[in-house]
Amino acid sequence: MRAAVAEVSAVPWTRCGSCAALVYGKRLARNLFVCPECGHHDRLTASQRIEQLLDAGSFKPLLVEPVHFDILGFTDTRPYTQRWEAARQETDLAEAVLCGTGAIGGHGLVVAVMDFRFLGGSLGSAVGEMITLAVELAVDEALPLLIVSTSGGARMQEGCLSLMQMAKTGIAIERHREHGLLSISLVTDPTYGGVAASFATNTDVIVAESGSRMGFAGPRVIRQTIGQELPAEFQSSGFLASKGQVDIVADRTDLRTVLTRLLAVGRRTDRGVDPSIDSSIDSSIDGLVDGLVDESIDPSTDQPVDLPAPATSGVLITDPERLVQRDPWETVRLARDSARPTVRDYLARSFDSFVELRGDRLYGDCNAVVAGIAEIDGLAVAVVGTEKGHSTTELIAHNFGMPQPEGYRKAMRVMSLAARLGLPVVTLIDTPGAYPGREAEERGQASAIAHAIQRMSALSTPVVAVITGEGGSGGALALAVADRVLVAENGVFSVISPEACSAILWNDAQAAAEAARALGLSAPWLLRLGIVDAVVPEPLGGSQADHLAAGNLLRQAVLEALRPLVSLPAAQLIRARRSRFRRFGQAAVTTPTDIAPPQPRERQEEKAV
């Protein structure tokens, strides 16, 4: 096994993990841990990355103390608490990210640097909170932002709370952008899952280090899930560049130069910030920008805002004790029942009319996503939903409810249209997750999800999301950044499927039932954790037993959640929506100590090898 990077310079010789050449340890260290024989870029620790990139002595850490966040009491082959404590001892880090202020080439900035050694660089509540605090510091100090990512994805042991960090960090970066500040993502090897589908791909500029790999689903997941064979260069930095998914590919020795030039261009010469929203968000989707945000919003106002609570006299259930306490694995099986109503069934039974709109205006259409304009009890709305189908033929035709990137882009196009027309948005979600295939990765699945999360957070119209069956990972979250999030009584919402979780943490694909019980994915847990605001009851025997009754209950639930929102100002909706997701995981970090941006100092460049 390849020697740990931190130990390489301490041993006389080390063997390259790529070409197997023997390299003198001190020479490798002087060469920034890039093999002088083949150019292989070895993995760095967060401290080494900061030392290499930032001006000497300029880094000042964000003084926060992460606390253990194990609200589920998660245990697989080892308790999560033990894994977390072991990671702290082995890495000498408080968590999987180092955040602070510094300078590159004399340009001040805020940095957040991940470390793969700490539980695979996984995105947990503390990591999400630390990165969000770093972004908020950059906003407060009018500084550019650099995030260096390396991660296997969201932290499974924290269930849906880790999934919410994708939304929280994405919203923070969107607010940073609204202040006219530059954000840069430096993708290093490897970057996958929830990190790839959030802050690694939703910044202004994406730089990939040579040899890095990035994607929503890793090659092993793709092979195991759909059996596709993948080319050798799949998801590599060169592959990403050829597909237009990154701006720059740079060798490690050139990164400081590249970043210095970007920071010089993006430097703010004034300390004042224009409080009006900059709605020039990536306009690659035709007409997407219009209607996303309300120009009257003051982004400097970041006080928590709450929306009116759902009525207690309607059909919605807000008390978890009123719910049947069913075995979570049984609930998973009910949520996946192919007889459950699909989005088209609900459109026919819960809404009065529907006009479908197709295509993303960039590449094509996605049959796993249905979108259009509908009417419900005299109220015009936009409806976006994931469609599975019932029969084998329908399931195949709709890709088993797994959206392609164009499905998310179509959804955002229709939501943007709704915002411009002043129509509320209703999303109906039933998906095992985003499609993990090669074609989806080539067309930017991770960035499509990341941008959907950001754009939903800025919609200037009420949004209600309903998880009607299966809510799988970031693929579901991309349509669930809403003012009100509801789940069907027998629905589930999870950071990962129980099967995948059991294969990774239990090393046993047959432990799916045990994983389901540990993940906190059923309605009672989701309600207790605040992941959902209310539960939509189902008819006796479940929604699959009576589509007409299920449709009527969904209709009442949507109206009950939506009506209190339609008269609220857009500014209040957006602030409250952002506040809703900002709260997830705040308890994972103690109150930060404010730090002032350092005065940039000249950096002694590395001596030539």
φ and ψ of 303, to 5 deg: -75, 140
In the prediction, which pLDDT does 304 show?
Answer: 59
**Strand pairing class (205-209; 183-192):** parallel
**Collapsed DSSP state (helix, strand, coil) of residue 65:** coil
Measure the CA–CA gap between 298 and 558, rounded to whole angstroms: 30
What separation, in Å, do the N-terminal and C-terminal C-alpha atoms of the chain show?
27
Measure the CA–CA gap between 237 and 187, rounded to whole angstroms: 9
Measure the CA–CA gap between 597 and 609, rounded to whole angstroms: 33
What are the structural domains, with CATH classification, of the chain?
1-42 (no CATH), 43-274 (3.90.226.10), 320-398+407-427+441-560 (3.90.226.10)
DSSP-derived secondary structure letter, 502:
I
With beta carbons less than 8 A apart as the criterion, state whether 83 and 602 touch. Answer: no
In the prediction, which pLDDT does 280 show?
Answer: 33
- What tokens does 605 get? 């460049």
Task: Give the residue among 197, 166, 232 at the shortest CA–CA distance from 440.
Answer: 197
Measure the CA–CA gap between 565 and 553, rounded to whole angstroms: 19
Measure the CA–CA gap between 579 and 582, rounded to whole angstroms: 5
In the prediction, which pLDDT does 200 show?
Answer: 93
Please state whether the peptide bond connecting residue 569 to the residue before it is cis, i.e. omega within 30 degrees of 0.
no
Measure the CA–CA gap between 210 and 188, rounded to whole angstroms: 8
Mean pLDDT, contiguous 10-residue spans, the chain (609 residues): 45 69 70 70 88 94 87 90 94 94 94 96 94 94 95 92 94 91 92 92 90 82 72 80 84 90 70 37 33 41 62 83 92 95 96 90 90 92 95 94 94 92 95 90 91 94 97 95 97 92 84 92 94 96 95 96 94 94 86 50 34
Measure the CA–CA gap between 129 and 134, rounded to whole angstroms: 9
Considering the entire predicted model, what is its pTM? 0.84
